[in-house]
Amino acid sequence: METNSKELYKNINRNEGVGILDSDFNPRYESLETKKKLTKIQQLVKTLKKDWMLYALVIPLIIWYIAFLYKPMYGLQIAFKKFSIFRGISGSPWVGFDNFREFMGSPYFLRSLKNTFLISFTSLIVGFPIPIILALMFNEVKNEIYKRGVQTLTYLPHFISVVVIAGIVKNFLAPSNGIINILISMIGLEKTYFLTKPEWFRSIYIGTNIWKEAGFGSIVYIAALAGVNPSLYEASRIDGASRLQQIWHVSIPGILPTIVIMFIMRIGKLLDVGYELILLLYQPATYETADVLSTYIYRTGLQSARYDIATAAGLFNAIIGFTLVFLANRLSKKLTETSLW
């Protein structure tokens, strides 16, 4: 009986020219009494044909990821080999975890790890809220011309070369004619060459990095604030809420999921302190507080040509970063129900 019913439905579909479903959620054609699902491959083909322009835009990004992120993963095996540039990757002998033992046994390992955590953690605590505060301030400005002008000024440092940024910092802190030392001498204090003082280096680096990236980092939060329902602000004004109360009870809750996601992603970069600015600013006198994992990897890999040790250090860095992201994501999912996956 069931077979006869199916044959009857097929005849009806054939006679009336009724097609079959395009997908479960967006039926293009329906039969009279039954819906027939396309296979996943057919659905994929139809989707690609329909939105081929969108998928074509993704192709360059996929190629870039394969060429610069996935293909280099082949070289990770160097971390477990006694690498020789003459033998190549495949010809170099395996040494197991010897490179990791040598890397972690180095007298510079603990120092660079400590400095990395101190700089990253301080940058996270001090620097992470600043783009959020900037975005909230921009959201409250009603004069569009003034708002766009200030936004442009805060975005510009991100696009300036790190070399130029380092030059600006050195000129500002120059012991003889730097603006900072001139102001210090005007109030009767002794001039100081800050870049040679280990106790000042972390503050200089963190402050420079915040100034460079805070404005550009606020773009994400400005976009999130644009998605907050305006009726919520109107309702809060009717209830007599001040601007600060609107920010606290409407704006911040509206962008909280974005804040959580950005925080989780930032946690994964705790050991990823950019070495470019540090290399341009530090010197032997400040190694004690300025030497981080990335500069240690740079010196070991490029200056000492120990590519196996440098790869082991980089792999260690990546594993710690992934672990931190995983733990932060799990914690966020339990506390806020917002997570990356």
Residue 85 inside a domain? The answer is no
Q: Are 187 and 239 in the same domain?
A: yes
pLDDT at 15 over 50: no
For residue 18, report the phi and psi dihedrals to the nearest 5 degrees. -90, 130
Contact 268, 327 (CB under 8 A): no
Q: Are 56 and 150 in the same domain?
A: no
Residue 144 inside a domain? The answer is yes
What's the CA gap between 168 and 170, in Å, rounded? Answer: 5
Mean pLDDT score across all residues of the chain:
85
Q: Domain count of the chain?
A: 2
Domain span holding position 46 = 40-74
pLDDT at 38 over 70: no
CATH assignment of the domain containing 208: 1.10.3720.10
Query: What's the number of CA atoms in the CB half-sphere (13 Å) around residue 309?
Result: 21
Q: Are 142 and 46 in the same domain?
A: no
What's the CA gap between 340 and 262, in Å, rounded? Answer: 10
Portion of the chain with pLDDT greater than 70, in percent: 89
Each residue's pLDDT tens digit, 65-124: 899 888 888 888 999 999 988 888 888 999 999 999 998 888 888 899 999 999 999 999
pLDDT at 246 over 50: yes
What is the pLDDT confidence band of residue 45, given thresholds at 50, 70 and 90?
confident
Question: Would the pTM count as exceeding 0.75?
Answer: yes
Q: Residue 101's pLDDT is what? A: 92
Q: Residue 50's pLDDT is what? A: 87
Q: Residue 37's pLDDT is what? A: 54
Q: Are 186 and 305 in the same domain?
A: yes
Residue 149 inside a domain? The answer is yes
Q: Are 67 and 175 in the same domain?
A: no
Q: Residue 262's pLDDT is what? A: 92
Q: Residue 71's pLDDT is what? A: 87
Residue 152 inside a domain? The answer is yes
Does 309 or 1 have the greater pLDDT score? 309
pLDDT at 11 over 70: no
Residue 88 inside a domain? The answer is no
What's the CA gap between 316 and 308, in Å, rounded? Answer: 12
**Which of 30, 56, 74 lies at the terminal end of a domain, its last residue?**
74
Q: Are 192 and 53 in the same domain?
A: no
Does 215 or 10 have the greater pLDDT score? 215
Q: Residue 217's pLDDT is what? A: 94
Q: Are 195 and 314 in the same domain?
A: yes
Q: Are 63 and 205 in the same domain?
A: no
Q: Are 49 and 144 in the same domain?
A: no
Average pLDDT over residues 252-258: 93
Q: Are 203 and 295 in the same domain?
A: yes
Rounded to a whole number of angstroms, the distance between the first and last alpha carbons of the chain is 47
Q: Are 202 and 324 in the same domain?
A: yes
What's the CA gap between 147 and 222, in Å, rounded? Answer: 12
**Which of 74, 95, 124 lies at the terminal end of a domain, its last residue?**
74
Residue 8 inside a domain? The answer is no
Average pLDDT over residues 226-239: 91
Each residue's pLDDT tens digit, 260-301: 999 988 888 888 887 889 999 988 888 889 989 888 888 888
Portion of the chain with pLDDT greater than 90, in percent: 45
Contact 131, 211 (CB under 8 A): no
Q: Are 65 and 112 in the same domain?
A: no
pLDDT at 209 over 90: yes
**Which of 17, 50, 74 lies at the terminal end of a domain, its last residue?**
74
Listed residue (272, 297, 295) closest to 99, CA to CA: 297
What is the pLDDT confidence band of residue 220, given thresholds at 50, 70 and 90?
very high
Residue 83 inside a domain? The answer is no
pLDDT at 173 over 80: yes
What is the pLDDT confidence band of residue 211, given thresholds at 50, 70 and 90?
very high
Residue 21 inside a domain? The answer is no
